[in-house]
C-alpha cells in the first residue's frame, strides 16, 4: 500500500466518523423542535455546545492537513477529487473560527431558538431582542474570522458561503435587482385584475389533514422506511442518507398550510434520500448547497404541486377527505391554491410575492452583519420596508420580525438561497417539461413520479459531487438565470387571472 493510499483511506475513515457525529448533532436539533420537553432547554444548550466542540476539534484536526498534503488529487476518481475539495473547504473554514466561538454559538443558538418560540407565541418581541443581539454579535465575529486575510471581500459573503458556496452578496443583489421590476409589475397587474379567486370555507379536521399529508408524501416519493413525519412550529427536514425526517404543521382553517408544507419538505427529504448510497457518510452524501436544496423543495411544491394538472387531482382528494368546502370545480380550486393576496407571512406567500419577502430579509441581514443596522432598530427597519414593499402595516411581531426561526439559530446568509432555489427550479422545470411531454397526464392522475424520477437522476443522486451551479447547468442544459422562472410566473398567473 502506498503512502497516498494509506493517507486517503485514513482521511476518509476519519471523515466518516465526523459525518456520523454531525448526523447525531442534527438529531438533537430535530428532537428539540419536535418532542423535547420544554424544561430540557438549558441542558440541551449545553449538549449542543459540547457536540459542536467535539465536531470543531475533529474538523480542525492537524492530521487533515497532513493527509491532504500526501494525496495526489489526479490519482483519484471524480468522487475522490470532489470529496477532497469539500474536505479542504471545510477544514479551511473551521480552522478560521476559534473553537470557543464555535462552541459559544452552538450553545447560544440552542437557547435563542427556545426564547424565540416563546416570544413568538406571546407576541413579546422585547423578550427576544437581547438574545438576538448576542447572536448577531457572535455572527459578526464569525464572519470577521472567516474573512480575515482577504478570504472574502465582504464579511456577509463568508456566512453566505456556508449555504451557497461561490455565491456573493453583490451577485445576489444584482440578480434580485433584475427580478424585482418584473415581479412587482406582475403583482400590480394581478391586483388590478377583475377576477378574484374565492376563499375556502368551513373547518378542516386536522387528523384528516395529516392523513392527506402522509398520502401526498408517499406520492411524491418519500421513503417511509427511512423517515417519519411529525409536527413543528416551523416545518423543516432533517438528516440525510438512511434517516431523513420531515415535519409539517396544521391549521383547521387552512389545509393548504399542511399540504404544501409537507410537499415542500418532501422535496428536501427526497434530495437527501436519493443521493447515491456509496456516498453515505462522506462529504458527498448530502445536498451540495441550500440553493440546490431549495430548488427541489420549491419545484415539488410549486411547479408540480400547484400545477393545474395536479391541483385537478388534489381537488378530488380534498372533496373525498373533507366534503364540500365551497369551491365549485377544479379550475376554481386551482385559482384558489395559487391566489395572490397581500399578506405578512413568507411561508404562506404565493409564488409571485414570495421572492419579495426574501429580498426584504436579505437586505436587512446584510445590513446587520455589516454593522450599518443595529438589532434595536431592526423592528422599525422591518416594518417600514414591509409597508413600502407590500402596502401593509405590521400589527404584531408574529406578522413581522418574529415570524421566522432563522436568525434565532444564527442562519445569516440562508434566506437568499430560497430565491436562488426558485431561480434554479425555474431552469429545471423548463428542461423537465421539454424532456417529459406527457407529464401533465401523470400529474392529473395524482402521479408525480415521472417528474420526481427526472429530478432524482438529473440532480438528487449526485449529492455533493458537482458545484452548485454546475449541478443546475448539467441538469437544465443552461447556466442558471431568472428568466425561465419569470416567464413561467407570467404565463401561469396571466392564465389564472385572465391578464
Q: How far from chain centre, in Å, is Cα 168? A: 18
pLDDT at 49: 87
Active-site residue flag, 33: no
**Are the C-beta atoms of 395 and 152 separated by less than 8 Å?**
no
Q: How far apart are CA 392 and CA 353, in angstroms?
A: 13
If one counts every other C-beta atom within 10 angstroms of the C-beta of residue 490, the result is 17
Q: How far apart are CA 461 and CA 459, in angstroms?
A: 6
CATH number for 169-204+270-497 (one of 3.30.360.10, 1.10.287.1080, 3.40.50.10260, 1.10.1370.30): it is: 1.10.1370.30
Three-class SS state of 377: helix
Q: How far from chain centre, in Å, is Cα 494? A: 28
Q: How far apart are CA 322 and CA 250, in angstroms?
A: 14
Q: Which DSSP state fits 198?
A: P
pLDDT at 138: 98
Cell readout for 82 is 470532489
Q: How far apart are CA 223 and CA 209, in angstroms?
A: 20
Three-class SS state of 295: helix
Which residues is 248 bridged to in the sheet? 231
**Are the C-beta atoms of 83 and 12 separated by less than 8 Å?**
yes
Three-class SS state of 48: helix
The one catalytic residue among 52, 265, 348, 365: 265
pLDDT at 190: 96
pLDDT at 218: 98
pLDDT at 199: 79
pTM score, whole prediction: 0.94
| Gap between the terminal Cα atoms of the chain | 69
pLDDT at 202: 86
Cell readout for 377 is 432598530
Q: Which residues of 244-271 are buried (b: 16+ CB within 10 A; e: fewer)?
A: bbbbbbbeeeebbbbbbbbbbbbbbbbb
pLDDT at 356: 97
Of residues 111, 175, 135, the one with CA closest to residue 378: 135
* Helix, strand, coil % in the chain, rounded to nearest 5: 70, 5, 30
Q: With the CA atoms of 170, 425, 480 and 403 taken in that order, what torsion angle do they form, in degrees rounded to the nearest 10?
A: 0
Domain regions of the chain by residue span: 3-151, 169-204+270-497
HSE at residue 396, side-chain half, CA atoms within 13 A, is 7
Where the chain has pLDDT below 70, the residues are none
Cell readout for 193 is 385584475
Amino acid at each position: 500500500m502506498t503512502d497516498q493510499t494509506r493517507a486517503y483511506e485514513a482521511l476518509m475513515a476519519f471523515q466518516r466518523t465526523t459525518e456520523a457525529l454531525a448526523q447525531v448533532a442534527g438529531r438533537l436539533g430535530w428532537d428539540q423542535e419536535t418532542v423535547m420537553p420544554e424544561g430540557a432547554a438549558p441542558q440541551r444548550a449545553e449538549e449542543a455546545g459540547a457536540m459542536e466542540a467535539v465536531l470543531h476539534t475533529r474538523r480542525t484536526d492537524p492530521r487533515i492537513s497532513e493527509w491532504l498534503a500526501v494525496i495526489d488529487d489526479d490519482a483519484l476518481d471524480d468522487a475522490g477529487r470532489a470529496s477532497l475539495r469539500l474536505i479542504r473547504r471545510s477544514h479551511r473554514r473551521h480552522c478560521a473560527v476559534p473553537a470557543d466561538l464555535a462552541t459559544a454559538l452552538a450553545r447560544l443558538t440552542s437557547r435563542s431558538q427556545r426564547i424565540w418560540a416563546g416570544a413568538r407565541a406571546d407576541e413579546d418581541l422585547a423578550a427576544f431582542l437581547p438574545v438576538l443581539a448576542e447572536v448577531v454579535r457572535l455572527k459578526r465575529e464569525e464572519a470577521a474570522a472567516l474573512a480575515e486575510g482577504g478570504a472574502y471581500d465582504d464579511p456577509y459573503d463568508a456566512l453566505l458561503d456556508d449555504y451557497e458556496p461561490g455565491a456573493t452578496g453583490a451577485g445576489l443583489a444584482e440578480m434580485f435587482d433584475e427580478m424585482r421590476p418584473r415581479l412587482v409589475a406582475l403583482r400590480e397587474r394581478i391586483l388590478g385584475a377583475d377576477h378574484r379567486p374565492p376563499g375556502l370555507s368551513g373547518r378542516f379536521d386536522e387528523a384528516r389533514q395529516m392523513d392527506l399529508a402522509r398520502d401526498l408524501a408517499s406520492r411524491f416519493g418519500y421513503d417511509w422506511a427511512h423517515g417519519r413525519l411529525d409536527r413543528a412550529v416551523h416545518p423543516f427536514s432533517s438528516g440525510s442518507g438512511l434517516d431523513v425526517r420531515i415535519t409539517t404543521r396544521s391549521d383547521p382553517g387552512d389545509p393548504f398550510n399542511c399540504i404544501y408544507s409537507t410537499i415542500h419538505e418532501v422535496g428536501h427529504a427526497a434530495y437527501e434520500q436519493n443521493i447515491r448510497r456509496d456516498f453515505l457518510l462522506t462529504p458527498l452524501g448530502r445536498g451540495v448547497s441550500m440553493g440546490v436544496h431549495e430548488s427541489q423543495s420549491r419545484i415539488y411544491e410549486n411547479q408540480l404541486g400547484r400545477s393545474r394538472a395536479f391541483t385537478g387531482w388534489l381537488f378530488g382528494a380534498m372533496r373525498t377527505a373533507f366534503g364540500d368546502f365551497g369551491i365549485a370545480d377544479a379550475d376554481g380550486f386551482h385559482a384558489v391554491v395559487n391566489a395572490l393576496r397581500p399578506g405578512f407571512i413568507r411561508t404562506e406567500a404565493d409564488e409571485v410575492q414570495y421572492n419579495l419577502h426574501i429580498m426584504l430579509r436579505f437586505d436587512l441581514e446584510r445590513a446587520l452583519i455589516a454593522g450599518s443596522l443595529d438589532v434595536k432598530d431592526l423592528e422599525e427597519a422591518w416594518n417600514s420596508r414591509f409597508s413600502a414593499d407590500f402596502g401593509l402595516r405590521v400589527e404584531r411581531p408574529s406578522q413581522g420580525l418574529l415570524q421566522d426561526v432563522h436568525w434565532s439559530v444564527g442562519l445569516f446568509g440562508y434566506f437568499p438561497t430560497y430565491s436562488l432555489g426558485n431561480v434554479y427550479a425555474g431552469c429545471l422545470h423548463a428542461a423537465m417539461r421539454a424532456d417529459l411531454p406527457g407529464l401533465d397526464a401523470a400529474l392529473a392522475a395524482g402521479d408525480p413520479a415521472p417528474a420526481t424520477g427526472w429530478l432524482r437522476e438529473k440532480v438528487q443522486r449526485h449529492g455533493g459531487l458537482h458545484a452548485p451551479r454546475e449541478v443546475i447547468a448539467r441538469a437544465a442544459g443552461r447556466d442558471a438565470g431568472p428568466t425561465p422562472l419569470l416567464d413561467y410566473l407570467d404565463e401561469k398567473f396571466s392564465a389564472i387571472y385572465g391578464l
